[in-house]
Structure 1
Amino acid sequence: MSNPTAHKSTFIEEAEALILNNLTNEQFGVSELADTMHMSRSNLLRKIKKETQLSASQFIRQVRLKEAMELLKEESLTVSEISYQVGFGSTSYFIKCFREQYGHSPGEVGKGTVLEKTEKVQTNFLKQYGWPLMVAISLAIIIVTVILFNKKDIINKPKIEKSIAVLPFKNESSDSTNLYFVNGLMESALNNLQKIEDLRVISRTSVEKYRKTDKGIPEIAEELHVNYLVEGSGQRVGNQVLLNVQLIEASTDTPIWMEQYNREIEDIFGLQNDVAKKIADAIAAVVTPSELEQIEKKPTKNLLAYDYYLQALDPYYLRTTEGLEKAIPLFEKAIEQDPEFALAYANIAISYYLLEMSQIEKQYTEKINNYADKALLYDSKSAESLVAKAFYYIQTKEYKLALPHLDKALEYNPNSSLAVQMLAEFYSHMIPNTNKYLEYALKGVQLNIASDSATQSYTYLQLSNALLLSGFMDEALKYVDMSLDYSAENYYAPLLKAFVLFAKDGDIERTRNLVVKEWNKDTTRLDLLQNIGKLFYLEENYKKAHFYYSKFVKAREANGLGIYRQENAKIAQVYKKMGLDSEAEKLFRDFSEYCKEDKSSYQSINLVWKYAYEGKINEAIEQLRIFSEIENYIYWFLLIENEPLIKPLNEHPEFEPIIQKIIDRFWKNQANLKKSLEQKGLI
């Protein structure tokens, strides 16, 4: 790649000269440079990007660091003195930036060690080995470089230029009850920015931990992987809203836009919209006409209704049973004041869904439907309204009807962490699609960063599982370990780690021992019982498989659960091997019913097990052939040939070629998936 600064234009030379003239002024940033060059900030950003391939802030920092290098070579000043002389207010931040730019600390330059070491090594090497070997080494370096740069970590987290986090606003009022109002102002700013596709906006749960923090802007930005932060403080005094907001460029810890607002309460929505539009303009984010329409939309005309709505948000976002039960009556009071308040209807529907999403018996289904329909009636272009209706369809297992609502919700709010999370869940098991599952799991990690330990742990758990199902074993192990690092109490992480290790090396005994260890901690866990039984089944140890499977089946029936029905053919095979024919037949009948009900892309592979159990080899081979034609599937299906139930198919002449086709198609799809994710900036 050519050096973008090899042939400097007059524009770049002028910009560098102005930066050098203001070198000691740490406040001299993008806005100041634009002003001194008599051009708009957006034009400056575009022109610098075009000519240097750098953002404006990166360009300014590079000029400062180049001057620092020259000063360090003179050896007359300390690192601390130079850091302030080139406009860095923090010496530690200067050292960090310098190391990133040059690959070594400024202290090494000051001591002359970098230059002296390089010259000495080059001189001795040339004298001893001569140029022929240098040529060979150069070729080796080229080869190694190619290998290293092509072996990218699947989850390399690149900095996205237009990435932003809205930090919790500070309550400037002595009245603590005013906090919900200030939080509401922060929520509205966040919500409006989330509607802009050109921005990556970190979720509310990710920033909440910084409400009471002593961390500085650069450290927070580094943890959140963002380039911009929004800080604010405000209060309500009578009918007046007082709000101070500033947008900070993280790399320089410099405000690039700030404003003080003093508005009548009646103009609160105009104030919120103005904040979002000015922030977007300050970082040159592209806002489409449809996005602008969404931002300018007033949620309600009734200020009392809006006040009740704001009061409900804090408990609503806790996502606890107590919080949701406290939020619902407040949303209902908002609706009493404004019967057309779409957001309030949507949040009630979502609350009811979350209250019982893990319950067997559902009692709120009709309420979810009614509130979701009201939300859509009064605002059909609201992401919250669409998510609410999707939840109703998920509740009633009409998954294909839920999907377009979730897709549309993400279209209206491209940064909705709730929609992204649900789409990941959706493609995980409701309508399986490993490519989509991994894509949304990656998006979830980008939006939910540095959340509380439990949330972050489960975010990484989901990503690890998505990576495993797509065949990225090393990366899956990395993220399940991170999940455990965040929360050793994570319920599912040890189980997932056991199977990630199994996928890597096939050590079934170690895998089984790890799962049994977890089961001994909690013998009520049916997921562990089922998996232990399956591992013994794979080894054809039917006696031990039956020991665990029988406990699982009895507990499942006693609790009226319909879980793991897709495993019933294997369980039936174990029962049959143990001579329990009537119990085996009952399990197999249920599996046959499951196959009839299954409308997913995995129906054909389930029919392979069905026909194999019945001894219908040709029919099983035909379904296996049909399965080999689908676009994507989970990694575990590559191991199907080793299953006891499938062994009779091995003798069929078409079996081996079909299995090879399944294997080849999986790895080809994985390669295409990696390219696609790279193009979307997700890896």
Structure 2
Amino acid sequence: MNTNTGDDKSFLNRLSSIVEANLSDEHFGVTELADKLRMNRSSVHRKLKSITNKSVSEFIREIRLQKAKGLLEEGSDNVSEVAYNVGFGSPSYFSKCFHDYFGYPPGEAKNHTKTESDPIELTEEGKTTKTFKQPSRMILVVIAITVLLGAYLVYQKLSGNPSEKSVIVLPFKNLSSEESTQYFADGITEDILTQLAKISDLQVVSRTSSEQFRETALSSPEIAGKMNVNFILEGSIRRQNDNVRISVQFIDARHDRHLWSENYDRQLADIFAIQSDIAKNVAKQLQTILSPEEIKQIEKLHPKNAEAYDKYLMGQYLCLKRDSISIRKGIEYFNQALEIDSTYTLAYSGLADGYYALSFTGYIDRKIGYARAYEMAEKALDMDSTLAEAYAVLGIVSKFGYWKWEEARKYFEKAIEVDPNCMVAHLYYCSFLDIVGEPDKAFEQVNRAIELEPYYHMTFRMKGIILCDEKRYEESNEALKRSYELNKESYYNYSRIFLNYLALNDEAAALEKLRELFALRPEYLEYKNDITPLYESSGINSVLKMFLDARLELGNEDDHFLIPILATKLGMQNEALTYLEKACAEKTRDIPRMIRKPELEVLYSNPRFVALVDTMNLSPYFQKLSE
């Protein structure tokens, strides 16, 4: 029910009119809006927050994005022109904001109706209140190709050393006229990679690492040299009506020689016949090369129903985007897959991951979401006790959702026992070990995650966090710099490096990093030119106060760890503790890891902080840390 008063609506209309009148001015922000209203910034922020629960920056950005959507649907301007017309100085940043807000890139605006980008709601029973358009029914060729390629790869290199049997699966190209089939091409790539990884004799490069070569101009030998592999598997998909062609090539990358290739031309309805034909052709090789357990691991991924598999692929494709709207849509498709085949294990595992991701980021009620994630992971494991990813979800929910630390440890260790190459299990486990004060083990786990995913920004970010918590600030900075080299939009890294430089008493380097952060984030851009004058006139504390005020005005959970840290550094211990208590009550993101920050050690003896630690069941571990 809308409870806004007439005055509130009038205020919002006035704000909207002013923003729209200055839409193309990329420098029009909170300060300029406040000046137009003849109010101070804090008053504007408080009033808008009380009405909409949004910050002023969010309000302005949403008006820009809604206007952009309308312009794109009209089709008179291209994406870059629209970006500039609605006040985004960077088309790439505009594209990111547009996708985060609407759930699809701006180039696809004409293909989406308004209802397709509306959010869905999660009820206590975990049901969603909205359905989405279903994708076209696609085929299940991936399983057949995987079996044949796995057998061929092991067979061809059986006499070599294990280290020679290394392969990268490049993203399959979608040659169809319809871009909407990209999910199918990506799904085939992911499943082939996953199934090849089940063969113990092979070394398979991770999906995240191979993704960097999606549009590469590098030659096969260059890719092999960069990734330290001997073989490349590449492919393409083309569909016209009910006809599908899947082409695959297996390449000796070091010598740039094609070893094997195959084209599969089939009707969509022939999927199970295709599987049967290929199985017969490779059965002998499978029996002589693969162990019975490896055969079981590969075959267990076969779905019973091609349509259910199609829904699963779309769900997987959407959830990998990692923004809230895409994950919500992905959950819809996983549920559709289960409506078709209620025994589809991987769909339950996908639901577990999706609900965890939405809960952790606060996009759904955390209590409901974590419970749903846990339930779906348990269902998946009831059907297949060898799903490492499902054990990892149980561990991460036990850690952040329920604060059951030793139970979380048990699940992480089980995940790694089931699949020592499960990167996400190592990543989640190293975070756990950092929180409970076992740094040596944490470094072992994060280094293993980096070994498995050397081009994933989160592995280096996590290493930087652990190094920071151990007060190894220079090493932390090196890891965090590598993280933002891999993902320029990971703003956390800039904030944490800024604080690390302060801990190293290098204020000049800290201020330079803060300028970089403010230049990158439009929400902070208006403060960028205030940094030097404030520092020169009043010192570092005035800059910290300005940063804290700007961060509070932002109003979301991004870089939320900054609030108690900046408040503590400014001597505002009560305010820091109040924020931590609120975050604890709401189970805000990674609050247990937040309280491990070195900057908060001054609070450790405060009774309010002790109570927080006890609430999160961390008292035994903090006692060990204090010793």
Structure-1 separation of matches of 2:475 and 2:165: 26
Determine whether 1:234 maps to 2:225. Answer: no
Deviation at residue 346 of structure 1 after TM alignment:
1.3
Separation of aligned partners in 2, 1:411 and 1:269? 31
**Aligned to 1:553, which of 561, 577, 586?**
577
Q: Give the aligned partner of residue 624 of structure 2.
A: 604
CA deviations over 1:303-342 (Å, ceiling 9, x no partner):
2211211222211211111111111111111111111111
Aligned to 1:433: 438
What SS is found at the alignment partner of 1:364? helix
Q: Provide the identity percentage.
A: 27
Q: Residues 182 and 235 of structure 1 are in contact (CA less than 8 Å); yes or no, is this contact kept in structure 2?
A: no
Deviation at 1:484, TM superposition (A): 4.0
Q: Deviations over 1:455-485 (max 9, x none)?
A: x444322223345557876654432232344
The answer to whether the 8 Å contact 1:565/1:591 transfers is no
Match of 1:170 among 154, 170, 173: 173
Q: Which amino acid aligns with 2:425?
A: A
CA distance change for structure 1 residues 457 and 163 in 2, over 3 Å: closer, same or farther?
A: same
Match of 2:461 in 1: 461
Deviates more, 1:523-532 or 1:206-215: 523-532
SS at match of 1:252: coil
The 5-angstrom pairing of residues 316-327 of structure 1 reads 316-327=319-330
| Alignment partner, residue 375 of structure 2 | 370
CA offsets, 1:333-378, max 9 Å, x none? 1111111111111111211111111338422233223322221222
Structure-1 residue corresponding to 2:611: 590
Q: Deviations over 1:17-70 (max 9, x none)?
A: xxxxxxxxxxxxxxxxxxxxxxx8546535xxxxxxxx9xxxxxxxxxxxxxxx
Post-superposition shift, 1:200?
A: 3.7
Q: What is the distance in 1 between the residues matched to 2:233 and 2:372?
A: 37
The verdict on how the C-alpha distance between 1:279 and 1:363 changes in structure 2, with shifts beyond 3 A counting, is farther
Please say if 1:45 is aligned against 2:169.
no
**Contact 2:437–2:624 (CA<8 Å) still a contact in 1?**
no
Residue 306 (str. 1) matches residue 323 (str. 2):
no
1:334-483 map, 5 Å: 334-359=337-362, 361-394=366-399, 395-429=401-435, 431-450=436-455, 456-467=456-467, 475-483=475-483
Matched to 1:404, the amino acid is K
SS at match of 1:212: coil
Q: Against the structure 1 CA distance between its residues 592 and 476, is the aligned structure 2 distance closer, same or farther, given a 3 Å change threshold? A: closer
Say whether the 8 Å CA contact 1:383–1:410 is kept in structure 2: yes
Q: Partners in 2 of 1:464 and 1:275 — Cα distance?
A: 49
Task: Provide TM-score, normalisation by structure 1.
Answer: 0.53
| 1:434 CA displacement | 1.6
One-letter code aligned to 2:561:
D
Is the 1:565–1:594 contact (alpha carbons within 8 Å) kept by the matching residues of 2? no
8 Å CA contact 1:197–1:415 kept in 2: the answer is no
Contact 1:432 1:600 in 2 (8 A): no
Instruction: Flag the 1:193–1:556 CA change in 2: closer, same or farther, 3 A.
Output: same
User: SS at 1:215's partner residue?
Assistant: coil
Q: Which has the higher contact order (CA 8 A, sep 6+)?
A: 2
- CA displacement at 1:271 relative to structure 2: 8.2
- Secondary structure in 2 matching 1:258: strand
Structure 1 distance, partners of 2:501, 2:339, is 55
> Matched residues in 1 for 2:164 and 2:437: separation?
33
- Aligned to 1:318, the other structure's residue is in SS state coil
Query: Residue 278 and residue 358 in structure 1: after superposition, are their counterparts in 2 closer, same or farther (change >3 A)?
Result: farther
**Cα RMSD, aligned residues only:** 4.1
Q: How far is 1:591 from its partner?
A: 5.8
Whether the 8 Å CA contact 2:196–2:202 is kept in 1: the answer is yes
- Which of 204-213 and 264-273 deviates more? 264-273
Conserved? CA contact 2:359–2:370, under 8 Å: no
**CA distance in structure 1 between the aligned counterparts of 2:414 and 2:283, rounded to whole angstroms:** 23
Normalised by the length of structure 2, the TM-score is 0.57
CA shift, 1:501, in A, is: 5.4
For 2:374, what is the secondary structure of its paired residue? helix
| Structure-1 residue corresponding to 2:210 | 207
Distance 1:449 1:289 in 2: 31
Q: Distance in 1 between matches of 2:574 and 2:258?
A: 64
What's the offset of the Cα at 1:262?
A: 5.0
State the aligned residue count: 423
Over 3 Å counting, the alpha-carbon distance change for 1:471 and 1:409 in structure 2 is: same
2:603 to 571, 592, 611: 571
Aligned pairs (5 A) from 1:41-190: 42=157, 45-46=160-161, 161-190=164-193
For the residues of structure 2 that align with 1:398 and 1:423, how far apart are their CA atoms?
14
| Runs of at least 5 residues in structure 1 that lack an aligned partner in the other structure | 1-39, 47-54, 56-159, 451-455, 536-544, 574-583, 607-623, 625-683
